[in-house]
Amino acid sequence: MQLNTLGLFVQLYSIRVPSLISLPYWAFQGCDASILLDSDNQNINTEIGSLRNFGIRKRESLSQIKTILEMECPGTVSCADIIALAAKESVFYSGGPDIRIPLGRRDSTNSSYQQADVHLPSSQISVDELLELFMAKGMNVEESVAILGAHTLGVGHCLSIVRRLYDPKLDMQMDSSFELLLRIKCPTKIPLSNLTFVTNDITPVIFDNQYYHDIIGGKGLFGIDSSISKHSQTAQIVIDFALNENYFFKVFSSAFVKLLSSNVLTGKYGEIRNECNKINHH
């Protein structure tokens, strides 16, 4: 079986594309599939239990892909590589660039929600903190702004945006009609339901540069979206990406490869799991 057959699997699970793209972003340890582990006697408090991983869904899609791959080529393709390939194919099948990514990752044998609580960025992250976070993964300023362009897909939950709506100390930097829409969708400071969501931009199933048009117009869903359109280091880059989609795709591709190559396990480190949600029992 060729690995590019994963594209067919992503088509089968096309409704889950935004979920597949988000997984590498929230894997704080690196792209090592630690976020796929479930709690058991060896991993009592796994990474997915972190409150900051709220909204991560459809991990079972990757387990289904893993099952198919294990039937064809057992013990060959790691869950970490499946995450990377599924994310890459999700970008492409949503209309984004076809990104060449390196393979050979291995899977982590540990996971910790406490560490995720400490290291995963909050919804209130500042531009300076964001740049520091992504520069630690080898990205420059342009790439740090580009990697946020993945917000062009999917939705945001009220839990992540109510603070900027209802905290009078925060400068929302938001279009008034868009603010009204968000208040209708999320009418209380404590969300009535964790299921309530708002689309990230007006083309939530298409990978394009609409995200940058929206945030220039004051329609950024998250605080960081509004902030990068105003910050001295990032505002012009936002404009450049809004004006030239091909340029955004080029920089995003470079940033995406760096994200998927950050802190990976290779060689003798880690393992290739038999099942993505469980470490192998030796």
Domain boundaries, the chain: 5-120, 141-258
The answer to whether 245 is annotated as binding is: no
The answer to whether 214 is annotated as binding is: no
Half-sphere exposure of 156 (CA within 13 A, CB side): 22
Helices 235-243 and 245-260, packing angle to 10 deg: 120
Predicted confidence at residue 16, as pLDDT, reads: 53
The answer to whether 160 is annotated as binding is: no
Predicted confidence at residue 123, as pLDDT, reads: 67
3-state secondary structure 142-204: HHHHHHHHHHHCCEEEHHHHHHHHHCCCCCCCCCHHHHHHHHHHCCCCCCCCCCCEEECCCCC
The answer to whether 34 is annotated as binding is: yes
The answer to whether 102 is annotated as binding is: no
Q: What is the DSSP letter of 39?
A: P
Are 82 and 276 a contacting pair, CB within 8 Å? yes
Burial (CB < 10 A; 0-12, 13-18, 19+), residue 72, is exposed
Q: Domain 141-258 has what CATH class? A: mainly alpha
Predicted confidence at residue 71, as pLDDT, reads: 87
Low-confidence winner among 3-7, 38-42, 62-66, 90-94 (lowest mean pLDDT): 3-7
Task: Compute the radius of gyration of the chain from its Cα atoms.
Answer: 19
Instruction: Give 202's pLDDT tier (boundaries 50, 70, 90).
Output: confident
265: which strand partners?
A: 106
Q: Is 36 helix (H, G, I), strand (E, B) or coil?
A: helix
Mean pLDDT of 32-38: 81
d(CA 239, CA 242) in angstroms, rounded, equals: 5
Most confident of 98-102, 141-145, 178-182: 141-145
> What phi and psi, each to the nearest 5 degrees, are found at residue 51?
-60, -25
Q: Could you identify the residue written with the tokens 């869903």?
A: 221
More confident residue, 230 or 4: 230
Predicted confidence at residue 59, as pLDDT, reads: 67
Q: Domain 5-120 has what CATH class? A: mainly alpha
Predicted confidence at residue 23, as pLDDT, reads: 64
Are 55 and 6 a contacting pair, CB within 8 Å? no
What is the pLDDT of the chain when averaged over all its residues? 81
Predicted confidence at residue 160, as pLDDT, reads: 82
Q: Is 271 helix (H, G, I), strand (E, B) or coil?
A: strand
Ramachandran assignment for 188, one of left (phi > 0), alpha (psi -120 to 50 degrees), beta (any other) = beta
The answer to whether 138 is annotated as binding is: no
The answer to whether 121 is annotated as binding is: yes
107: which strand partners?
A: 271
